[in-house]
Chain A
Amino acid sequence: MQTTTDPLARLAENTGRYARYSRSAGGLSLVIGGILCLAAFTIGATVELTPAWRYALVAAPLLWLASKELLRAFYYQRTGAVRERLSDRQRRGHFWMVAYLAAMALLIIGGVAWTAGARAWQWPGIAYIAIVAAMPLVAARWFWSTGDFLVGVLLVCQAAVVIVGLHYPWYWILVAALYAAIAIPTGWREHRDYLRLRDELGLRDATRGKAADA
């Protein structure tokens, strides 16, 4: 039997779906991340890395994070920001993911400092350490889903390695391709779900009305 509480439950559920685009649903930004990830590892392993290529690869994670923020603010949540309410499971998952990255970052920085000595604190070693140290902080702020984690960690690792003049071997292209194969369909599915949600919540008409008012 349908009760008057059913439409209310649907309204709360739709709000929850919209709120996901503040954190755990990347939509098109996940598609961009997957493509960037595959492109960065392919370029890193197959192209002779000139300084321009190196800076482009170092900038790739920044470009991806910028796309995430811009899409959230000006596309997915342009009607108004709604922050996702996380379940205890999601909170725990996020906490352990950040803790794991923090532990790995500490291990890597410790290892580099131990083996490279004073060179670790000179350019470009210091840039490598800075990127590795930033990884858990970036994860705490932006990596709320498995797709974000896979794509983000690979892009940041690539940036750290490339800045010291190295690159990942060719077989990492396969890993990047696997992660892209997970991220791109997931992001596309999330985007399609947003288009449906936009119609269900009547957001398309609202944004058109606002544009007309402006």
Chain B
Amino acid sequence: MLAKVRTFALEGVDGVPVTVEVDVRRGLPAFSVVGLPDRAVRESRERVRAALANSGVNFPQQRVTVNLAPASLRKTGPSFDLAIAVAVVAADGGLPDGDLRDAVCGELSLSGEIRPIRGALAMALAARRGGVERMLVPVANAPESALADGLEVIGVPTLVELLELLRGDRTAEPAVPALAVDGADHDGPDLADVRGQADARRALEIAAAGGHNLLMIGPPGAGKTMLARRLPGILPPPTMAEAIEITKVQGAAGLARGGLVTERPFRAPHHTISASGLVGGGVPPRPGEITLAHYGVLFLDELPEFARTALEALRQPMEEGEVTVVRGQRAVTYPARAMLVAACNGCPCARTAGDCTCNDVDRIRYARRLSGPLLDRIDLVCELGQPPPPVLVGSRPVVEGSNRVRERVETARRIQDDRPSGGRIQVSKAAAARAQLWHLSGRGQDRVLRLARTIADLAGADEVEGDHLDEAIGYRMSDPLRAAA
């Protein structure tokens, strides 16, 4: 007898529908899986056999053939276990209907328990797109999958319960989506912890308001990493659609913590990372750090120490907001809309300006290690000095916290959203004259103008004024970097 069960494979960060077909007929007892399975999928035979036995179901002593359709798609991972087990039972006549209406995803343990899988939300979203009404998933994944609106998701703990549910011997409540608590207050690191560095704080605020990429230059211990970690906290909280996308991506990468991710991700890969680690790759392809930082912040500390190939690989995703990885016969597209924050020392000796022993040639060589085209995509450069000494006795100065800064950023972003896109940037007469004086040309002018527009938005100004332009110009690159760019 033939049975069909719908399930989903993970391709990139999206679910792809897969139909598990099982044919049970007389012949020598055998259990084979076809349809481009990888090792983990082929091993599922053993898990399915043991899980069924331990759940009190007799494994058919006949010839069992499992096909994973479409047969051209390479299947990886253990998430097909559950669908195969259910289809085997259905094909053996153990369920009222051979053609199941529900979709099933999950990994089995030998005891028949259902284990969580990667990409539960991506699969649920694909199920909704494919017109599935009810989806049965591991209990641990249920709150995440239930975020797919309009799809009934039921979390199931064991194979026994799942079979009872399908036979109609048991009813279950649909899972409740794990929505955000109240996203208003951010519980990550707070800007109030940063002493001094007024200039860098301002740069961070502008970067957040305009989504500009930022490069911080300063000696070790100046607080570059500390500041970068506080950027997600001053960005507006993700919208519902963004949060679902973030959850989907993190879930597909196996980073999900079981509910809606309401904070923007912050990723700080080590500088020894390879190009494929940064933008995605490998066999089978895995998302890179820029995808994991989707809608959040990608922080590259010690920027010149990164492999040139890795930095070069970042250019296209930064431009297009997504990256396509081609491996063998597959092309996978990952979303990659992250803000870039980079940090480096001012010179190779990494001392403060007064103690520095580097000469121009050393500095230029250090700056050259940065990829010019990557620097082209960085709008703001700010230099950090040593922070003021800690206040050990007496009251500490009161510093503005992340919440206050975020309010201003949100106001500026609202102004930007209300402005028709694609229009020319309105510049006051005084500012236009200033631009002439600076001999700004082409791309440099464009970059400075966009930055000045953001600064004007923070100030609530309709037109870019001279002061806004001056400040924007103050954040452009210093000489050795410019020489490299």
A binds B: no
Using a CB–CB cutoff of 8 Å, the interface residues on chain A facing chain B are none
